[in-house]
Amino acid sequence: MRIVIRTLRPLFAPLLGLALVACAPAPIYKASPTAVMAVPSQVAQSPGRYAGNDVIWGGRIVNVQNFADHSEVELLAYPLDNSQRPRASDAANGRFIAVLPGFAEPLNYPGGALMTVSGKLNGSHAGKVGDADYVFPLVSVAQSHVWTADEMQKGRNNFHFGVGVGVGIR
């Protein structure tokens, strides 16, 4: 028995790592070769430099406005995890406006929900956040996804290591 354990021990760590990675959902959008790695706050400083480039950004929905031929969803941007889910526990990266064709039903884009978009940078819009002037990068959205609470939890391990006694209630 000891021989078997000694033989298998070097395989345990890589197999455990592989098992944990296999649980994480795959990215929902494929990044293009022209995708910009800059965050919205960087793009807002010089939007013309980034115009026409692809982005995959995500964040928390702040507001939805519908116009005659398009809708605008204002988001507070957060870094994305490997599955392109916004990591709202991290520091925010500025704000941007996702421009959607047609009418966006506000109930499908509730304030506070997390969303990921894929699209092209298409200029900027000067606006305000409270009383402060703000430059919002505009993303012409090709694809978008509003995350459910269940989707945000998928792929997160429920294993916690430590010493002591604990109680978890869900």
Checking if the pLDDT of 121 tops 60, the result is yes
Q: Which domains, from first to last, does the chain contain?
A: 40-153 (2.40.50.140)
Residue 169 has pLDDT above 60, yes or no: no
Structure tokens at 22: 């296999």
The pLDDT tens digits for 43-90 are 999 999 999 999 999 999 999 999 999 999 999 999 999 999 999 999
* H or E element at residue 41: helix 40-45
Is pTM beyond 0.75 here?
yes
Q: Are strands 132-146 and 95-101 parallel, antiparallel or unpaired?
A: parallel
Confirm if 79 and 90 have CB atoms less than 8 A apart.
yes
Q: Is the pLDDT of residue 35 over 60?
A: yes
The mean pLDDT value of the chain amounts to: 84
Q: What average pLDDT does this structure show over 86-101?
A: 97
Q: For residues 135 and 111, what is the distance between their CA atoms, to the nearest angstrom?
A: 20
64: which residues sit within 8 A by CB, 6+ positions away?
71, 72, 73, 74, 104, 106, 109, 111
pLDDT in tens, 138-165: 999 999 999 999 999 886 544 444 555 5
